[in-house]
A and B are shown apart, each in its own frame.
Chain A
Amino acid sequence: RKEVEQDPGPFNVPEGATVAFNCTYSNSASQSFFWYRQDCRKEPKLLMSVYSSGNEDGRFTAQLNRASQYISLLIRDSKLSDSATYLCVVDDNQGGKLIFGQGTELSVKP
């Protein structure tokens, strides 16, 4: 089983659509959870941290369910500029090491 597993992509959606990404992780000791965005194989950039209480940043909402070891990202009113690969990331709770999912590609079409 992969340490961090994401929905296989790609997701092709029209502008304005709502899209949800799902992720599961295997290490129950992980303490920190993130969504990163990666454009055209450039460097990953932090989109948002994920907290147990859920958190929202504009059109983006992230949820964490520790019992199920499940993380989600919801994008509302998607824009063309949201087209990218979304990476689910957790820490390994043994140091600064981050564990990345394989990414889910999103393509928003006009």
Chain B
Amino acid sequence: NAGVMQNPRHLVRRRGQEARLRCSPMKGHSHVYWYRQLPEEGLKFMVYLQKENIIDESGMPKERFSAEFPKEGPSILRIQQVVRGDSAAYFCASSRLASGSFDEQFFGPGTRLTVL
């Protein structure tokens, strides 16, 4: 049973380009969460998605960031017009059960984004 998969593992972009980060949850998991870890800081929640629905995007920056989890395929975190401050590790997690009946979130290996 493969774990949470993220790709690419490392991504380098120049300022103003777009970054697309992909996350495939564990088999049987339909809940996906994205977290960001800035250098020397803890993980910060960004967004919580279920298939075709955004449940909680309270941690997403208001501009340039979007996320989706389509019916088919991986979840995508998209950052438009990247700036140096977007350089961070972006972790995806998945869980099996809905919130309320808390289930462990399993984390992927992360995508390390570097903006030049």
Which residues of A line the B interface, CB within 8 A?
A: 4, 31-32, 41-46, 87, 91, 94-103
Contacts and interface: CB of A to CB of B under 8 A. Distances in A.
Contact of B110 (A31, A43, A103): A43
A95 to B, nearest CB: 5
A95 B102 contact: no
Given A87-B42, A100-B35, 10 more contacts: A42-B109, A43-B108, A87-B43, A95-B48, A96-B33, A96-B56, A96-B98, A98-B43, A100-B44, A103-B42
Contacts of B69: none
Chain B interface category by residue count: 20 to 34
Contact of B48 (A42, A44, A96, A103): A96
B56 A95 contact: yes
Contacts of B48: 95-97
Interface in B57-116: 58-59, 89, 91, 93, 95, 98-99, 102, 104-105, 107-110
Interface of B: 31, 33, 35, 37, 41-45, 48, 55-56, 58-59, 89, 91, 93, 95, 98-99, 102, 104-105, 107-110
Contacts, number: 59
A98 B33 contact: yes
Contacts of B44: 100
A33 to B, nearest CB: 10
Contact of A102 (B42, B45, B56, B109): B42
B45 A94 contact: no
Contacts of A31: 102
A-B pairs with the 7 shortest C-beta distances? A43-B107, A102-B42, A96-B99, A100-B43, A100-B42, A95-B99, A32-B102
A98 B107 contact: no
